[in-house]
Chains A and B, each alone.
Chain A
Amino acid sequence: MNKSKSAYSVAGKKGKLDTHIIVVWVDNEAGVLARVVGLFSGRGYNIESLAVAEIDSKLNISRITIVTTGTPQVIDQIKLQLKKLVPVHKVADFKREDKQVIFKEMALFKLVGNNNKRSKALNACKKFNAVLLDRTNKSCVIQITALRREIDKMSKNLKKFGLVSVSRTGAVAMTRGAETFK
């Protein structure tokens, strides 16, 4: 038996981790992001990515989309703890595998190289709504929107075409169909 030298119990078994996308509607006021993020760091929850912006300037509402991992119990806690915050209006939770929900991230790639490399790169990005935002003789900036893992893959693949810089957003989510989350 492990002899515990502590006033606390030893950690129990760890459960299976799932990836969830948590969407939070909040009052757009000073410090609200710090409250949400502080809750995550303070209670030891993960944040894989984060996207936040005001979505209703009249009602002053911002929408925060957080990708996180945790056991089902932890995910439940995250939702319940978020709902307790005063500026939080509602909290939605989607599994990453959920087919009823669209998840998208955007990435900007800067490539340095000749025309040939550029067209090859554009071609490789084709599937992901590629847009050429800027071009010079020596460089270009390509924008794509895709899933996280697809962007991961592309930022690896584009290295050979002269990729020098990547900038990407956190995921945003929207349900399919006419329904909205109440």
Chain B
Amino acid sequence: MPKLLSGAEIVFKCLEDQSVEYIFGYPGGAVLPIYDELKNHSSIKHILVRHEQGAGHAAEGYARSSGKPGVVLVTSGPGATNVVTALTDAYMDSIPLVCISGQVPTHLIGTDAFQECDTTGITRPCTKHNWLVKDIKDLSKIIHKAFEVATTGRPGPVLVDIPKDVQFQKTNYPKFKKQNKSNGKIHNQYQQKDIDELIKLMSKAKKPIFYTGGGVINSGPKASDLLRELVAATGFPITSTLQGLGCFPGDDKNFLGMLGMHGTYEANNAMHDCDLMINIGARFDDRITGKIDEFSPGSKKVHIDIDPSSINKNVKVDLPIVGDVQSVISSIIKTIKKTKPNFINSNKQQISKWWEQIEKWREKKSLDYINSNETIKPQYAVQRLYELTKNKDTFITTEVGQHQMWAAQHYKFDKPNRWMTSGGLGTMGYGLPAAVGVQIAHPDKLVVDIAGEASVLMTIQEMSTAVQYNLPIKIFILNNEYMGMVRQWQELLHEKNYSESYTAALPDFVKLAEAYGCVGIRAKTPEELDDKIIEMINTDRPVIFDCLVDKQENCFPMIPSGKPHNQMLLGPKDQEQNKITGKGKTLV
């Protein structure tokens, strides 16, 4: 007779069979049996965070930078509710997470027991699926299924809630047969005729554009390679969403920069005026489309997505192609090679006018700003950080707000999985714990969290985690003492009524760094900035970098709400030239 295993042992057996190396978690009453079992499984390392939200974001950072699912372990009640923000964040940005939560013993469920909450009820709308394990016999099946659901199709978070008595009960653990990943095959619903139709549209198009998103990154590094091949084979311009940055080199001549609310002038105008839009793994998010009724009015739209429910959700498209990005692009390239081997040359003439137009838009240099010798401009700080770290295979995370947009605009990525930012949910406090997770996955790489002073304070306690595990993350704070994006909206939309967006009491970040046992560096002037950044890079310990920047700077360009792509608000340089008055500014 095979040995009977306890629920807690089965949890670890499953994790081992799923090749899990790290768990991000926080112990508590209802998961103690699982924590007790931890010592017997040396291949799995537990990272103790300081707050369960931090565990979730760290697991997200780990997942996004490694392509493997992130695993979170929390206790019942507050442990589970604290992780809800991270689960929702992962759900919005399609990040594979497996969260295991403890629950009060089955006989106490529903009695308002100590640290009880309806975890599966609370997390139902923010997970792909969740399970309450009431029978020990179901446990191993459910955990393996959880990994499958999290990682296949459009990835996302799942949660398995395990009551404490189930963790003690014993049963058999059946041998796990690793199935070939079903990611791909069953989700590919497209046919060759769809690809042929797309090639037909591509060869007719005079003003084509690729609009790529996080789906390319989620499809794996191979998809990014194929995307580069596709752009090279067609000569089409390409723009990317916030989440898609890195799947195409940011300094390539075909790349128009990010699109959307704070995207470049050329990317947004090209989206508006194009006659063929090929959406690869993006979802027509409202930050991208602006006013839907006037979104790219003259174009045929093609949408490549693994999730059928993304098609026609926000924008009606002419040719949907449901499938995994990697396999679709590969089919496209194969078909081009077979049927139109000379595509790029025969096409060059046809789209040359389009490129001329794009070059004109480019001349606007919409990311320009007025630099200063006295104060550090936040854009300048990001640019310097980029120049000084670009040869290092750097991983960047961000918080949410102006600094996030400046990072997206001015830091140029050339590889996928190097850029971790909370796009869908827009979670302030994401970047620091995410950096912890990234550094765990890539211990020898440079990991920088480009942060705002308001965001970073939401999860600053995770510095303690970084110190405990010797994770040399760099927290690069663009400190303007304001919730910058809130202040910007208040300036533009609410008659400069800066209601509660100024933080009148901030900690001394250098002293704070010392208190946590890491290194604090402060830069006050543009002159000293480079040296300080180099000092930060050369420090082999966690660093909090307090970069004091211009307090009034706004993030441009910008599509004001309710406006289409071709009515952008440009930066102060352009506004000076075109004499946009105060009235024009408030017409947002």
Contact = CB atoms under 8 A, between A and B. Distances in A.
Contacts of B309: 77, 80-81, 83-84
Nearest to A29: B131
Interface string A5-35: 1111110110000000000000000110011
Interface of B: 120-121, 124-125, 128-129, 132, 134, 149, 286, 289-293, 307-309, 311-313, 316, 489, 493-494, 560-562, 587-588
A23 B292 CA distance: 31
A140 B149 CA distance: 53
Contacts of B587: 3
Given A10-B561, A77-B313, 19 more contacts: A4-B561, A5-B493, A6-B562, A7-B489, A7-B561, A9-B290, A9-B291, A9-B561, A12-B293, A30-B134, A31-B120, A34-B124, A35-B124, A38-B124, A73-B316, A77-B312, A83-B308, A84-B307, A85-B129
Given A30-B132, A42-B125, A86-B129, A6 B561 contact: yes
B561 A31 contact: no
Contacts of A31: 120-121, 124, 132
Given A10-B562, A34-B124, A42-B125, A76 B312 contact: yes
Contacts of B289: 9
Contacts of A2: 562
A34 B132 CA distance: 14
B150 to A, nearest CB: 11
A2 B291 CA distance: 13
A72 to B, nearest CB: 9
A38 B292 contact: no
B84 to A, nearest CB: 14
Contact of A9 (B120, B121, B132, B292): B292
Contacts of B493: 5-6
Contact of B286 (A9, A13, A81): A9
A76 B289 CA distance: 21
How extensive is the interface on chain A, given as a class?
20 to 34
B125 A34 contact: no
B125 A9 contact: no
Contacts of A84: 128, 307, 309
* 7 nearest CB pairs, A to B: A80-B309, A86-B129, A4-B562, A4-B561, A9-B562, A10-B562, A12-B293
B555 to A, nearest CB: 13
A13 B294 CA distance: 12
Contacts of A38: 124-125
A170 B316 CA distance: 33
24 contacts: A3-B587, A4-B561, A5-B494, A6-B562, A7-B489, A9-B289, A9-B290, A9-B291, A9-B562, A10-B291, A10-B561, A12-B293, A13-B293, A30-B134, A31-B121, A31-B124, A34-B121, A38-B124, A73-B316, A77-B313, A80-B308, A80-B311, A86-B128, A86-B129
B246 to A, nearest CB: 26
B561 to A, nearest CB: 5
B489 to A, nearest CB: 6
A4 B562 CA distance: 7
A13 B311 CA distance: 20
Nearest to A81: B309
A12 B562 CA distance: 10
Contacts of B120: 31
Nearest to B134: A30
A84 B125 CA distance: 13
A85 B493 CA distance: 40
Contacts of B316: 73
Nearest to A78: B309
A6 B376 CA distance: 30
A8 B494 CA distance: 14
Contacts of A73: 312, 316
A86 B127 CA distance: 11
Nearest to A79: B309
A82 B86 CA distance: 24
B497 to A, nearest CB: 12
A76 B134 CA distance: 35
A77 B308 CA distance: 9
**Interface core residue of A6, A9, A86 (most chain B CB under 10 Å):** A9
Nearest to B560: A4
Interface in A30-72: 30-31, 34-35, 38, 42
**Interface core residue of A34, A73, A80, A85 (most chain B CB under 10 Å):** A80
Contacts of B291: 9-10, 12
A155 to B, nearest CB: 35
B562 A86 contact: no
B292 A12 contact: yes
Contacts of A77: 309, 312-313
Contacts of A81: 309
Interface string A86-119: 1000000000000000000000000000000000
Contacts of B561: 4, 6-10
B493 to A, nearest CB: 5
